[in-house]
Amino acid sequence: MNKSNRTYIRVAVLGLLLVALVFALYSSFVKDPNAVKVGSAAPNFSLQQLNGPEMALGDLKGKGVVLNFWGTWCEPCKKELPALQQQYNQFKDKGLVVIGVNIGESPVAVEPFVKQFGVNFPILLDSDSQITKLYRIGPIPTTYFISPDGDVEEIFIGQLNEAMIAEKVTKILP
């Protein structure tokens, strides 16, 4: 192989790498058109509760819903759970439901964790991560604030504190 052929091959390989890089950057910055968005209806689903029957999101119409995706391995989730529990205690009689969706873990892992934090709002088990995929969850914790008519009012990615939750909850109470 002569020198000019090697140069063409190098240019072609660099060109392909550049195209791949541009595509990767484009894909990461352009939003997924199927992702759940603020203002859209929250997709309905049904999951098994940790200590109870199956629960469907659609059955909660007429209530304000805080839908929180979390895992026992997630440090910010551990810090956020007590704040969610406190706000649930404060607003459950005013029509608020807090739902914790555990991502991909077994009841054996989830139950002692929930007991340790004194959580008594419904914990749903997304053991095969189907709902996590449906909602296009990336980093956790991720929390959806859903109005009584079933629309997503706000999506928050990251750890919430009590004041932040209280402020967002007042917007979705019936």
Contact (Cβ atoms closer than 8 angstroms) between residue 142 and residue 131: no
pLDDT tens for 16-30 read 888 877 766 565 555
* Separation of alpha carbons 34 and 4, rounded Å: 47
In the numeric block, which tokens belong to residue 72? Answer: 């026992």
* Separation of alpha carbons 47 and 63, rounded Å: 18
Contact (Cβ atoms closer than 8 angstroms) between residue 95 and residue 63: yes
Element (H, E) at 109: helix 107-116
Q: If you average pLDDT over residues 99-117, what whole number do you get?
A: 94
* Separation of alpha carbons 68 and 81, rounded Å: 9
pLDDT of residue 26: 61
pLDDT of residue 4: 76
Q: If you average pLDDT over residues 28-37, what whole number do you get?
A: 64
Inter-CA distances, 87 with 80, 93, 110, Å: 11, 11, 21
pLDDT tens for 42-93 read 999 999 999 889 999 999 999 999 999 999 999 999 999 999 999 999 999 9
pTM of the model: 0.80
* Separation of alpha carbons 70 and 155, rounded Å: 14
3-state secondary structure of 164: helix
Q: If you average pLDDT over residues 127-142, what whole number do you get?
A: 92
Q: If you average pLDDT over residues 97-120, what whole number do you get?
A: 94
Closest CA to 49 of 60, 40, 38: 60
| CA 5 to chain centroid | 51
Sign of CA dihedral 127, 131, 133, 136: negative
Q: Give the DSSP letter of residue 92.
A: G
Indicate the pLDDT class of residue 8, thresholds 50, 70 and 90. confident
